[in-house]
Amino acid sequence: MAKRKTFNNHKRQRIFNKTHGHCGYCGCKITPDNFQVDHITPLAKGGSNYEFNLIASCSLCNKYKGALSVVEFKKRILEQVEVIRKSNGKFRLLEHMGIVWVREDGISFFFERQKC
């Protein structure tokens, strides 16, 4: 397994530029000062420190993804929707009223839609 490492400013900037100042997962705006470098395929699952495996991430997405693969991360997010739906009448009401909705076509992350 590769070791986690610190990336120099030049490499961090290239990783940041891949997603044009957006989190590679949720797409929220990030800045060069507040993003985290995430391993798309986690080191714990055989990922590498090569740039093709690195993506800029907001702290919330990076923390929640942890050592999950992209497929596992999507599955965990969708599982949370069901947990909330079953346990929260307010969510069900908002869904019923059309104020919130869950995409039926699944999840695609920002980096997948942008071909980063």
Q: 115 pLDDT exceeds 90?
A: no
The reported pTM is 0.86
Segment 59-76 mean pLDDT: 96
**Strand, coil or helix: 38:** strand
Number of domains in the chain: 1
The CATH code of the domain that includes 37 is: 1.10.30
Q: 94 pLDDT exceeds 80?
A: yes
**Is 2 domain-assigned?**
no
Tokens of 107: 């999840």
Domain enclosing residue 72, as ranges: 9-114
Nearest to 7 by CA among 56, 40, 44: 56
